[in-house]
Amino acid sequence: MIQIEHQPLNHRQVVITDENGKPLSQLTDLLSDCLSKIDLFVDLPSTDTASDVIDDLHLLTPLPNDVLDEYQKVLDQPI
């Protein structure tokens, strides 16, 4: 579960937008897919960085490196 200002937030309700507020559907879908995998396979309290999350997904899932690279990009985006 994502937390914003210490309040839980369902990641299915998160929409990524451009600077003008226009929704970016591909990035939103990628983030949702990534966070769904994180919910299943990663113990977030034991990770400190996006790289730690990607390392865990690499060890615990059969996801190919190109998918993990895209996950890394979306997790590194400033919020």
Q: What is the pLDDT along the chain (79 residues), one digit of tens a residue?
A: 555 666 777 778 888 888 899 999 998 899 889 988 988 899 888 888 899 999 999 999 999 999 999 999 988 877 6
- The domain total for the chain is 1
Q: In angstroms, what CA-CA distances link 71 with 5, 6, 7, 21, 66?
A: 23, 23, 24, 22, 9
- Distance CA(68)–CA(6), nearest Å, equals 27
Domain region containing 9: 2-75
Specify the 3-state DSSP secondary structure of 17. Answer: strand
Q: pTM higher than 0.85, yes or no?
A: no
Ramachandran angles phi, psi of 28, nearest 5°: -60, -45
What is the model's pLDDT at position 79? 65
∠ Cα 5 44 52 (to 5°)? 115
Q: What is the pLDDT of residue 47?
A: 87
- What is the spatial distance between Cα 71 and Cα 54, in angstroms, rounded to a whole number? 8
pLDDT of residue 72: 93
